[in-house]
């Protein structure tokens, strides 16, 4: 989820909504 979070950082508001959803997706990384 780290890479996708980094992409969302530029969005500001989406980092909170988007990162939460992304971290719910299996990614091989620990949340």
Predicted pLDDT at 2: 58
Q: What share of the chain is helix, strand, coil (3-state, %, to 5)?
A: 60, 0, 40
Please report where in the chains the tokens 């971290």 appear, as a residue.
23
Longest Cα–Cα distance of the chain, Å, equals 25
Predicted pLDDT at 23: 58
Per the confidence metrics, is the pTM higher than 0.85? no
1-31 pLDDT tens trace: 555 555 555 556 555 655 555 555 555 555 5
Do the beta carbons of residue 18 and residue 4 sit within 8 Å? yes
Residues 6+ apart with CB under 8 A from 1: 19, 22, 23, 25, 27, 29, 31
| CA nearest neighbour of 1 among 17, 21, 11 | 21
Predicted pLDDT at 29: 58
């Amino acid at each position: 989820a780290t890479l996708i979070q980094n992409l969302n950082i530029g969005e500001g508001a989406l980092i909170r909504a988007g990162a939460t959803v992304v971290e719910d997706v299996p990614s091989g990384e620990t949340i």
